[in-house]
Amino acid sequence: MRVYLSVDMEGVAGVVHVDQTRRSGHDYERARRWMTHEANAAIDGAYDGGASSVLVNDSHADMRNFVLEELDPRVELISGSLKPLSMVQGVEPGFGCALFVGYHAGAGSRAGILDHTYFGKVVARCRVGGRDWNETAINAAVCGAVGVPVALVTGDSTVCAQAREILGEVETVSVKEAVSRYAARSLLPAAAQHRIRAAASAAVRRARDGAFAPFRPPPPFELEVEFANAACADAAELLPGTVRRSGVACAYRAGDAPALLQVLRAWTLLGSTTLT
């Protein structure tokens, strides 16, 4: 079974602050190694569970975070930016399941470490069909559009709860519990990696037994975003098909999940040009 692995950073054990997740941050060089080793744990687990190959996508910020000398050499890696499907670039029919590691809660969550949805400075809230959708939901829908189910989500306890609410009984590993947006009670990296390996193995084994269904909500997808301010919405409104709902909110009816993701990415890129 081919396995797809998308790895973000905010949901990695020990990470609680942007000083760890930004390239210019003081602790970034250490946090990127924790991220690399959580990916390795998921890769080990995937092979334990019967994977034939693993494709890894670096899904954080500029998407050049892994320490390649320390990443499991059995995989192939997608890295760098810009990627049309961003955090799920490279997913295609034929993968048996997708694993999301180091994920975080959606913008506007309470007690979610570094919660945001695709671009925190631009997107204050993201809803689809009237429900809050975080990156797990959006990315799972893109995977679902090509028939690939999500089998594992790891991150803080808030994103794990959100994942189960959206996707049902997927495997989850809570590596930390948020005390507030920038504080957590966390497992240490080695303990988190141990649990992630076991859960990835169980996830792939269950996927081989057909335990997970692709996440395929019926189209169209009614996307509504509340932006950080009206300038971001002014810029987003430049995209044809965008409907301005209020000073800070825009809406778009997308025909499928990849289009939904691409509109959200276009809006965030447009909105980011207004940041002062």
Element spanning 200, H or E? helix 189-208
Binding segment for Zn ion (CB under 5 A), chosen from 52-60, 77-85, 93-101, 233-241, is 52-60
For residue 92, give the 3-state DSSP assignment: coil
Q: Does 8 bind Zn ion (CB under 5 A)?
A: yes
Cβ-in-10-Å burial (0-12, 13-18, 19+) of 79 comes to middle
Minimum CB distance to Zn ion smaller for 157 or for 201: 157
Q: Does 58 bind Zn ion (CB under 5 A)?
A: no
Minimum CB distance to Zn ion smaller for 40 or for 117: 117
Minimum CB distance to Zn ion smaller for 9 or for 85: 9
Q: Does 38 bind Zn ion (CB under 5 A)?
A: no
Binding segment for Zn ion (CB under 5 A), chosen from 58-66, 227-235, 237-245, 252-260, is 58-66
Write the CB contacts of 269 (distance below 8 Å, at least 6 apart in sequence): none
Q: Can you tell me which of 60, 127, 205, 206 binds Zn ion, judged by CB under 5 A?
A: 60
- Is 60 among the residues known to form the active site? no
- Taking alpha carbons only, the member of 62, 122, 116, 83 closest to residue 258 is 83
CB of 21 to Zn ion, least distance (A): 6
Size of the residue set binding Zn ion (CB under 5 A): 4
Minimum CB distance to Zn ion smaller for 9 or for 142: 9
Q: How many CB atoms lie within 10 A of CB 165?
A: 13
> DSSP states of 14-78 as a string?
T--SHHHHSTTSTTHHHHHHHHHHHHHHHHHHHHHTT-SEEEEEE-STTS----GGGS-TTSEEE
- Residue 246 contacts residue 271 (beta carbons within 8 Å): no
Binding segment for Zn ion (CB under 5 A), chosen from 38-46, 60-68, 77-85, 249-257, is 60-68
Minimum CB distance to Zn ion smaller for 23 or for 110: 23
CB of 87 to Zn ion, least distance (A): 8
- Taking alpha carbons only, the member of 126, 129, 128 closest to residue 236 is 126
User: Which of the residues are catalytic?
Assistant: 116
Residues that bind Zn ion (CB under 5 A): 8-10, 60
